[in-house]
Amino acid sequence: MISYLKGKIQYVGANFIELNVNDVGYKIFVAANILNKARVGQETEVFTYQNVREEALDLFGFASREELEMFEKLISVSGIGPKTALNALSVAKIDEIESAIISGDASVLTKISGIGKKTAERIVLELKNKYKSVSEVGGKIMRSEDADVIDALVGLGYSVDQARDVLRRLDKNIKGTEKKVKAALQLLSKKY
């Protein structure tokens, strides 16, 4: 299975790029975020999904592993094919799709071409259980690490609003609950 390619763009089509990797050309269907930036001669890398069918062997490319993972989740839903999933990632950001699934708001997904009301409801139903590591704090959906940071700060006597505010101001490069709590406490000690 081909899972990653790096090479020079030889051609940019309507919904694909042709990538030259060691003198072998790969036709890779890509989302709009890659297509809009693609220029002939440009070196690029894509994380790929190889779709094997009886009559075709297609490659779908993504700018990040997160996009690839969302694509794989979407195509795991019955009735969602690779082109519909790719279209979803062209139209909506990963966070928007995840938020719609977690909150159960199928109407957000119906705005994507090729996804009707029933299909959107099926996506929410089938994928909601894959987001158990997500919490809702004060009406805002966030990943469990951020929720843990807020829980820790609230446990130390800060309000939910103060905790959310400081979390938004943290450097995005800080990873890990413990490091985020320490950085948040430093910011809070300066402000309050």
Q: Are residues 119 and 158 in the same domain?
A: no
Last residue of a domain, one of 114, 131, 148: 131
**What is the structure's pLDDT at 167?**
81
Say which range, 19-33, 130-144, 146-160, has the weakest mean pLDDT: 130-144
- Going by pLDDT thresholds of 50, 70 and 90, the confidence category of residue 53 is confident
11, two tokens: 């051609």
Stronger pLDDT, 77 or 155, i.e. the higher one? 77
Q: Are residues 42 and 90 in the same domain?
A: no
Q: Are residues 58 and 21 in the same domain?
A: yes
Report the SS3 class of residue 170.
coil
Q: Are residues 93 and 53 in the same domain?
A: no
Q: Are residues 28 and 75 in the same domain?
A: no
CA distance 100 to 166: 25
Q: Are residues 140 and 167 in the same domain?
A: yes
Stronger pLDDT, 160 or 133, i.e. the higher one? 160
CB-CB contact of 148 with 155 (8 Å) = no
Q: Are residues 84 and 47 in the same domain?
A: no
Q: Are residues 70 and 57 in the same domain?
A: no
User: CA–CA distance from 92 to each of 10, 70, 137, 172 (Å)?
Assistant: 27, 11, 23, 22
Counting Cβ atoms within 10 Å, is residue 150 exposed (0-12), middle (13-18) or buried (19+)? buried
Last residue of a domain, one of 131, 148, 170: 131
**What is the structure's pLDDT at 71?**
94
Q: Which domain holds residue 48?
A: 4-62
Tell me how many domains the chain contains: 3
CA distance 68 to 86: 10
Q: Are residues 126 and 80 in the same domain?
A: yes
**What is the structure's pLDDT at 131?**
66
CA distance 122 to 79: 9
pLDDT tens digits for 95-117?
888 888 887 778 878 888 778 88
Q: What dihedral angle (degrees, nearest 10) is formed by the CA atoms of 116, 119, 120, 122?
A: 160
Name residues whose C-beta falls within 8 Å of residue 49's C-beta, 6 or more positions apart in sequence. Answer: 59, 60, 62, 68, 71, 72, 82
Task: Write the CATH number for 94.
Answer: 1.10.150.20
Q: Are residues 152 and 127 in the same domain?
A: no
- Going by pLDDT thresholds of 50, 70 and 90, the confidence category of residue 137 is very low
Q: Are residues 181 and 162 in the same domain?
A: yes
Q: Are residues 58 and 106 in the same domain?
A: no
Q: What is the pTM of this model?
A: 0.66
